[in-house]
Amino acid sequence: MIFGFLTSQTLSPRQHRLQNTPLFRTLKPLEVKFVDGLMHERRYLPEEIVFDENEEGQALYLVMAGRVEISRAHEGSRRLVSELGPGGFFGDLALLDNSPRSAQARAVEHCELAVFFRDDFLALMDTDAVIGYKISLALARHIGQRLRERLDGRPQLEAL
């Protein structure tokens, strides 16, 4: 069968990790497989910079393995904003615009990240509106939660 992959409901370990990420939790297995095909895998060594503060945002990053620190420049040093492990994601606003990054992301240990570029996300919105809608809604809910936490004065991951 030429399109046998379309009928398989079996997810790879990486696809399971994607589906367990809040951003993709509402996707069906075939939709997760489709999105996984759009993602790029990147590996980082300990202390390696994923992106720097004030760089143009071009992609969202999902932590598949390892840990990443998010920090901001503050009075000549770096202030830790958050530390993310497997299942965490950062750089989400880059899917919506190309504003400068508001923080630095750095690998704490060996990391495997799945990278979802804005151009791929925008193309997905054109080619599969249902998947694009589900991801957009999850993204909006995540950003809304961060805003509520900020308004309540609770610590939260800064917009990246």
* Three-class DSSP category at 87: coil
- Per-residue pLDDT, 146: 81
* Consecutive H or E run containing 70: strand 68-74
Q: Which of 35, 33, 30 is nearest to 124 (CA)?
A: 35
Q: Are strands 104-107 and 89-90 parallel, antiparallel or unpaired?
A: unpaired
Instruction: State residue 51's pLDDT score.
Output: 97
Burial class (CB in 10 A: 0-12, 13-18, 19+), 51: buried
Nearest-CA neighbor of 64 among 46, 42, 82, 33? 42
Q: How deeply is 93 buried, as exposed, middle or buried, from its count of CB atoms within 10 A (0-12, 13-18, 19+)?
A: buried
pLDDT score at 1: 42
Per-residue pLDDT at 76: 84
Per-residue pLDDT of the chain (160 residues; tens, 9 = 90+): 455 555 557 899 999 999 999 999 999 999 999 999 999 999 999 999 999 999 999 999 999 999 999 999 988 889 999 999 999 999 998 988 888 999 999 999 999 999 999 999 999 999 999 999 999 999 999 989 888 887 887 655 444 4
* Integer Cα distance of 16 and 46 in angstroms: 25
Q: Are 111 and 65 in contact (CB under 8 A)?
A: yes
